Structure 1
Amino acid sequence: MRSAPRAERPRAGPHPGREEGSATAEFAVVLPSVLLVLGLALGGLQLAAQRLVLASAASDIARASARGDPGAAERRLADLAAGVGVPAGVQRSLHRDEDLLCVTLTARPGTGILSVIALRASGCALETRP
């Protein structure tokens, strides 16, 4: 037995039954979200790279200071401030715990909203005594 043909409901719009432009509209909605996620991921990678540079420099400065070579420590700090990947204005703090000399470097990775974030890295070295 055959069923009666179903009557289709009329579709609204000038061209009933056509969905032209829906992909463009979906793309326009999704694109800003994709760009935001991509920007956040790239920003996170940049912060991680700057943190690694700071950690390496803190260890180098701690070793040079512990050896009694303040000139090498100052040169490394100057190289860091003038180098690529870390902004100018790196702050250094030293503290001693018995024979251990620790250096902490703090930097702000950028301007604007990134200036709220402070990157911090520490490095320690055993002081050599003559």
Structure 2
Amino acid sequence: MRSPSADRDRGSVTAEFAVALPAIALVLAACLASVQLIAQQVRLTDAAADAARALGRGESAAEAGAIADRVSGGAALGVAVDGMFVCATLSTPGDGLLAAIELRAESCAVTGGR
């Protein structure tokens, strides 16, 4: 024999799950987006280091930009020379929904002509 309270609670788990599911999906999407941004920042930092080393070896800004472009996937390159050091700055907007976030990375290297 079933109790009358069991009939009233029937389907409440489904309703609670339907309410909680969008919040869970939103948290999961935010976590995945942050992982994507972190990975893109790491690629940008590596590309800035590669470009700075190329500029330090005496290669042109176009050649260093091509090297950085292969690693970063199309970031804008800025070059600054300060005495014995040459610095490469890369910047790019985020991808997809996070395009409003600008990522930047800078790396410096000693020039070959000390």
What TM-score, normalized by structure 2, do the two folds share? 0.85
Q: Report the equivalent of 1:61.
A: 51
Residue 129 (1) aligns with residue 113 (2): yes
What TM-score, normalized by structure 1, do the two folds share? 0.75
Distance 2:104 2:17 in 1: 40
Paired residue type of 1:25 = A
Unaligned 5+ residue runs, structure 1?
1-14
- 2:86 equivalent among 98, 101, 104: 101
The number of residues matched between the two structures is 109
Distance 1:42 1:94 in 2: 32
SS in 2 for 1:129: coil
Q: Report the equivalent of 1:91.
A: 76
Deviations 1:38-78 (A, max 9, x none): 00000000000000000000000000011102264133133
Q: Report the equivalent of 2:17.
A: 27
Moved more, 98-107 or 65-74: 65-74
In the TM superposition, structure 1's runs of 4+ consecutive aligned residues that sit over 2 Å from their partners are: none
Identical positions, percent: 37
Which structure shows the higher strand fraction? 2
Matches within 5 A, 1:70-81: 70=60, 72-80=63-71
SS in 1 for 2:112: coil
Distance 1:92 1:67 in 2: 17
Unaligned 5+ residue runs, structure 2?
none
Which structure shows the higher helix fraction? 2
| Structure of larger gyration radius | 1
Question: By how many angstroms is 1:16 displaced?
Answer: 4.2
Q: How big is the alpha-carbon RMSD for the aligned residues of Structure 1 and Structure 2?
A: 1.9
